[in-house]
Amino acid sequence: MKTKLLFLLIVSSTIARAQWTVMQKYNEYGKGNNYLFASTEKDARRIILETLQDNNLSYDIEFNKGANLFLSTAIVDPLNSEYVYIIHSMKGRYQDKPGYHIFCYYMENRYRYFYDVTEGEDRISLVYDPGVLNVSPKKENSSKKD
CATH number for the domain running over 4-13+26-129: 3.30.2030
Q: Which of 54-58, 98-102, 121-125 has the highest mean pLDDT?
A: 98-102
Residue 28 has pLDDT above 70, yes or no: yes
Residue 121 has pLDDT above 50, yes or no: yes
pTM for this prediction: 0.70
Residue 3 has pLDDT above 50, yes or no: no
Q: What amino acid occupies position 10?
A: I
Residue 13 has pLDDT above 50, yes or no: no
Let me know: does 124 contact 88? Beta carbons within 8 Å: no
